[in-house]
Structure 1
Amino acid sequence: MKYKLIALDVDGTLLNDDHQLSEENMQAIAEVTRLGGRIVLCTGRSPQNSIPFMQEMGLSGYVLGHNGAATVRVENREVLHQYGLDARGLDPYIEYCRERGMHFDINTAFDMYVDNVENLSKEANHMYENFQVVPASLPAWEDFREPIVKFTVFSKPDILDEAEREWGTWTQQYNILRSGEFFIDFMNPEASKGNALKNLAADLGVPREEVLSIGNYFNDISMLTYAGLGVAMENSPVEVKAAADVITGTNNEHGVRDALVKYCLS
């Protein structure tokens, strides 16, 4: 099998629109693993709510969470590497969000914090239920004991579009990525899925040309361009498809299965 390390995005790629893992994708992943391939999840999610998918697939290994800001070993949840960010530099972005009623959360490798957990909107509660996350209320910066790895803003797409334009005029000290239609993520400038995948491949002794990645959104571009073969989902924006080497089917039609069968199992 040519590709020894296979990195899969989760939402919009591995999972369908109902956040379910299909039997077709699971069977293809099991066969790739049987033949010696290593499957890793490379996701904007926390390791906390992505490791369960590895366990559902019967896999050990690694999760590259928070868009590559935290690399975690599945078996013991050890944080192998993380890119912390400057928390106090987030203050003007937090003020911008509060003034406009835009929801945000603050993430360490495993924990998530929101402005006031008692006053979450119906939309935010629904979102966290879908992603199987239970946030806590935000403490003061000086009370954090773990590095902050990601700041996420959740709002309607047109409101996020306006915020992106405004923040683009500010002095940049973060990697700011649109990680979904309703999400903007802030990370350390060095944090990306591509960098995390590159570092893991080096640690495992897997050359770049033996790495395959599959993704569907703007936060996946760095890993699609790093991999020896970058595969975009059919449900990807046109810019993501342009960054990939090949296109597979949609996340609702087992596009991951199709790509694994074509490029790993044929």
Structure 2
Amino acid sequence: MAYEKGQYRLLALDLDGTLLNDRSEISDTNAEWVRHAVRAGVTVCVSTGRGFPSALPYAEQLGLDTPMITVNGGEIWTKPHSLHRRTLLDAEKVMKLHALAEKYDIWFWGYTTESIYNKERWTGDTISSKWLKFGYYTEDVPILDAILAEIRTWDGLEISNSSPYNIEINAAGVSKATALMEVCRMLGYDMSEVVAVGDSLNDIAAIRASGLGVAMGNAQDEVKAAADVITDTENEHGVAKVIQNYVLRT
């Protein structure tokens, strides 16, 4: 059966909890429907909190040669390996964020343009590194809330999450939404022609800014409240359902 694209020209897909199931795999059903969308002329854009190296294999698996948004919009790629724009997180702020993680003795990580560091392996030279994102993880919610309350009083940070138990920090103004706007400018699309699909707080701005904002069935409640529609969960091929129901027509 041949499919045609409808009113939407760009499909922006989060990875974890969205395109990927809980085993971090793209289901055969999701992969099949993404390929249907690509063949119909829809631009499929990976839009993730992951860094480029860990996002790339999924784009390659789907055969995508289209723009990518990584580290929550800290990097925008015109296509895999072709960097369009990078927005760095101030190194002195990373030092403060790191000190806070040490104070509470919880898991943390940071992405530079060169590597990923974490509690088990931290750089010896924070100031000289080019930082993209910093994150905290703990299932001790009162500690997470205390950190959130503290860093919300600081300037120059964009704060989100990719799970209920983490906090993700980029430079102020960096989000999947602003990155999607830049991708649309590059391609000559309007944001009204975008479908954005996601499950976490780092997806909310993009879901609100797009022509159709879709929350996964497994999404956080705030994300569901912000979305136009809710699809099935990541283990029920929710992305495939979005493509079938809203992106393509026969």
Deviation at 1:9, TM superposition (A): 0.5
Partner secondary structure for residue 161 of structure 2: strand
Letter in 1 for 2:148: E
2 CA distance for matches of 1:58 and 1:91?
Answer: 39
Deviation at 1:101, TM superposition (A): 1.1
RMSD: 1.6
1:47 touches 1:72 (CA, 8 Å); kept in 2? no
Q: Which residue of 1 aligns with 2:111?
A: 107
Alignment match of 2:91 (pick from 66, 83, 87):
87
Alignment match of 2:77 (pick from 55, 67, 72):
72
Instruction: Normalising by structure 2, report the TM-score.
Output: 0.92
Alignment match of 1:50 (pick from 38, 50, 55):
55
* Identical-residue share of aligned pairs (%): 31
Partner secondary structure for residue 217 of structure 2: coil
1:177 touches 1:219 (CA, 8 Å); kept in 2? yes
Q: Which residue of 2 aligns with 1:126?
A: none
1 CA distance for matches of 2:10 and 2:87?
Answer: 22
Off by >4 Å, runs of 4+ in structure 1: none
Deviation at 1:173, TM superposition (A): 2.0
Q: 1:217 to 1:176 in 2, by over 3 A?
A: same
| 1:242 and 2:225 aligned | yes
- Unpaired stretches in structure 1, ≥5 consecutive residues: 118-136
2:97 touches 2:134 (CA, 8 Å); kept in 1? no
Which whole-Å deviations, capped at 9, do the CAs of 1:105-160 have from their partners, x for residues lacking one? Answer: 2212452123542xxxxxxxxxxxxxxxxxxx41313442xx31111112225132
2 CA distance for matches of 1:245 and 1:194?
Answer: 16
Deviation at 1:182, TM superposition (A): 2.7
| 1:220 and 2:203 aligned | yes
Letter in 1 for 2:40: L
- Counterparts of residues 87-166 of structure 1 (less than 5 Å): 87-109=91-113, 111-117=115-121, 137-144=122-129, 147-158=130-141, 159-166=143-150
2 CA distance for matches of 1:110 and 1:256?
Answer: 31
1:249 touches 1:255 (CA, 8 Å); kept in 2? yes
Q: Which residue of 2 aligns with 1:204?
A: 187
How many residues of Structure 1 are paired with residues of Structure 2 in the alignment? 243
Letter in 2 for 1:79: L
1 CA distance for matches of 2:193 and 2:114?
Answer: 30
- Unpaired stretches in structure 2, ≥5 consecutive residues: none
Which whole-Å deviations, capped at 9, do the CAs of 1:16-46 have from their partners, x for residues lacking one? Answer: 1111110000000000000100101111111
Q: Which residue of 2 aligns with 1:17?
A: 22
Partner secondary structure for residue 156 of structure 1: coil
Instruction: Normalising by structure 1, report the TM-score.
Output: 0.86
2 CA distance for matches of 1:223 and 1:149?
Answer: 19
Partner secondary structure for residue 141 of structure 1: coil
2 CA distance for matches of 1:256 and 1:157?
Answer: 31
2 CA distance for matches of 1:3 and 1:64?
Answer: 18
Which whole-Å deviations, capped at 9, do the CAs of 1:189-218 have from their partners, x for residues lacking one? Answer: 010000000111111001122111111111
Deviation at 1:165, TM superposition (A): 2.6
Q: 1:157 to 1:12 in 2, by over 3 A?
A: farther
1 CA distance for matches of 2:22 and 2:119?
Answer: 28
Partner secondary structure for residue 248 of structure 2: coil
1 CA distance for matches of 2:95 and 2:203?
Answer: 27
1:70 touches 1:109 (CA, 8 Å); kept in 2? no
2:133 touches 2:169 (CA, 8 Å); kept in 1? yes
Partner secondary structure for residue 175 of structure 1: strand
